[in-house]
Structure 1
Amino acid sequence: MLLLIMRYKQTTQVPNEIFDSHLSSLTHSELKLLLFIIRKTYGWQLKNGKRKHRDRISHSQFIKFTGTSRRSLPSTIQSLILKQHITVTDYNGVLLHTPESRKGKLNIFYAPLFHSYVNQGSNLGKKKHKPMQIGLYNKTKETKLRGKKGIQRQTDWERMKDILNMKKFAGD
């Protein structure tokens, strides 16, 4: 059991959007590149607890880890850009969405383009809690016994005893 927990911590979350909407439209090499980009971004947790949104990835890394040929790599990257699955930028965040704009650049950053996943991750834990019961029908108003003198709160065990006693008297 402990081994399974350790392995789970060493995983990368892949947005369901890929499986639900885009899997059938991706080629084998596009899927490999996209998953590698997701691994290099969402698969890394920063010191502040957030996930990376982009990462500098060299062509040699793509070739080594995905098995994609050097010849087909630029066209596969361009295809993912046109299908709006990734964004490619330089260090300053300037879009490099044409092969000519990427040519000769050393620091090219790749980012998966899944709005639903990124937005959920950035607001994680910041949403306000909404009460289950609102207004007049809120049961907790009567059970808290605020401001009533002479009535003390009971423990769960005491309440259970009272309920059992009432059932005994009702059954007699």
Structure 2
Amino acid sequence: MSVDLIIEDDRWAEAGLQVLADRACAAALAHLGLPDDAEISLLGCDDARIATLNAEFRDKPVPTNVLSWPSDDLAAEEDGARPYAPEPDLPDMPLELGDIAIAYDTCAREATEQGKAFADHVTHLLVHGTLHLLGFDHIRPQDAALMERIEVEILASMGLADPYEEDGF
């Protein structure tokens, strides 16, 4: 598992984003039984940068916590079905899963508002972003239920509480 990190906001380096990302992304892949030779590109940025990206790619000119750009569309056609398994572009090549961007300001604000440890919240968002790269989504109801259940299972395997419970971690 390789997370290629670009840090645009130095607060991410201080927060140990590389360690958090390596752990969260690897846990997501392991939970789904995927090979550990996958590659993810990660941008650690601030709210201004993610607002620009959100405007450019989603037509929403506001900050958000995390954005994902999968290399391939792996989404299932049927609501609630598992996405298609990723495959490398060429044999013996690593799986290039895509790109994730995460905003420090929004993550810090959300963690504080929700009474969660910053590292735990970021870990959840990195698992969430990784699942998006793997074709999971939360637009349709059964897809959302599947994605949430898998997030909770992955986080539990890491010793983290259910982030969707009111008393979450």
Q: When the two structures are superposed, what TM-score results if normalisation uses the length of structure 1?
A: 0.24
Which is strand-richer, 1 or 2? 2
Rg comparison, structure with higher value: 1
Q: Which has the higher contact order (CA 8 A, sep 6+)?
A: 2
